[in-house]
């Protein structure tokens, strides 16, 4: 299957080569799954990646949550993901002013050296995107920013007028890869898609086959409905790593997300 024929207007209108790279790999693997690899040790992270990689297209990390983090262990983990062709997405949710966000991409974790994508809030204004892009440029690398336009957690403060402003700014910025939308609410995803148009991707956390309320204010929506509503990637954490058989769970999410895309 050709990516252009499956992704249609999203493929035609994509502004970043990395977006097409994502759509191409998703088409090859028949999966729109980004694994939220929220495990606390390098062994668990490696075991999880080894088990589920055939069914995922991107690897989302929280580098500062790993108990036994070392530059060497992390380097090997990222190399494994790169060799598998996966995009590495550090969910750092940057929010500071541009020049500080640039420095936060370096430092101990040196996120600019291994990430392809990072998340950012636009609360401090549009220069944050330029700051993050400057860090990748400094390393001779290309990266993309996913702006939080909505969140999945209950009671979050990303009100509709804020979402609209983020979508307006982000849709025009060449450093923006796409947006984080609320996967637990299909109508919200459709509304975000209407604001964003086709030139950027929408990735959605808050996804689980068991829909409804999750732990500590998390909310979950159905993967198939999220994709039908306009999500281009479902971000799944505990729905995969919290299961006895993560590989089988990941395959299930891949199948339902791909079905959604074909029927969209
Ligand atoms: O599937 P879960 O609930 O186990 O994990 C959800 C993952 C976590 C969160 O940090 C992340 O998705 N997340 C995000 C982002 C940016 O990915 C935004 C959001 O609104 N809600 C959310 O859960 O790694």
The dihedral sign for the CA sequence 7, 255, 86, 237? positive
In a domain, 173, yes or no: yes
What is the DSSP code (8-state) at residue 116? S
Question: 49 alpha carbon to ligand 1 midpoint, in Å?
Answer: 18
In a domain, 135, yes or no: no
In a domain, 132, yes or no: no
Q: Give kind and range of the element (H or E) at residue 178.
A: strand 176-180
The CATH number of residue 209's host domain is 3.20.20.70
Instruction: Give me the DSSP letters along 27-68.
Output: HHHT--EEEE---SSHHHHHHHHHHHGGG-SEEEE-GGG-TT
**Is 93 among the catalytic positions?**
yes
Question: 117 alpha carbon to ligand 1 midpoint, in Å?
Answer: 15
In a domain, 246, yes or no: yes
Q: How many domains does the chain have?
A: 1
Provide the residue range defining the domain that includes 23.
3-87+149-263
Q: Of the listed 80, 93, 139, 259, which one is catalytic? A: 93
Pocket test for ligand 1, best of 120, 237, 240, 241 (most atoms within 8 A of CB): 237
In a domain, 93, yes or no: no
C-alpha span between 31 and 27 (Å, rounded) = 7
The predicted pLDDT at position 15 comes to: 87
In a domain, 59, yes or no: yes
In a domain, 230, yes or no: yes
Which pLDDT tens digit goes with each residue over 202-230?
A: 999 999 999 999 999 999 999 999 999 99
In a domain, 115, yes or no: no
Pocket test for ligand 1, best of 35, 36, 95, 117 (most atoms within 8 A of CB): 36
Ranges under pLDDT 50 in the chain:
none
Q: Which residue has the tokens 């990689």?
A: 53
């Amino acid at each position: 299957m050709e990516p252009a024929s499956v992704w249609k207007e999203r493929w035609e209108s994509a502004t970043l080569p990395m977006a097409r790279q994502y759509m191409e790999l998703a088409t090859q693997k028949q999966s729109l799954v980004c694994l939220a690899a929220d495990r606390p040790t390098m062994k668990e992270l490696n075991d999880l990646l080894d088990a589920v990689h055939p069914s995922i297209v991107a690897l989302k990390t929280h580098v500062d949550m790993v108990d036994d983090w070392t530059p060497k262990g992390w380097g090997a983990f990222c190399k494994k993901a790169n060799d598998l062709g996966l995009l590495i997405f550090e969910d750092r949710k940057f929010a500071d002013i541009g020049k500080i966000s640039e420095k936060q991409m370096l430092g101990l974790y040196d996120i600019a050296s291994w990430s392809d994508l990072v998340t950012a809030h636009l609360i401090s204004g549009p220069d944050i995107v330029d700051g993050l892009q400057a860090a990748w440029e400094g390393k001779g690398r290309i990266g993309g920013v996913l702006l939080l336009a909505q969140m999945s957690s209950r009671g979050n403060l990303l009100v509709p007028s804020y979402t609209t402003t983020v979508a307006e700014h982000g849709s025009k910025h060449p450093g923006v890869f796409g947006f984080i939308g609320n996967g637990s609410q299909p109508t919200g995803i459709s509304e975000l898609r209407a604001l964003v148009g086709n030139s950027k991707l929408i990735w959605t956390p808050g996804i689980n086959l068991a829909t409804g309320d999750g732990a500590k204010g998390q909310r979950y929506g159905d993967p198939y409905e999220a994709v039908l509503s306009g999500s281009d990637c479902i971000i799944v954490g505990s729905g995969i790593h919290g299961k006895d058989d993560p590989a089988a769970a990941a395959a299930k999410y891949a199948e339902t997300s791909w079905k959604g895309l074909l029927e969209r």
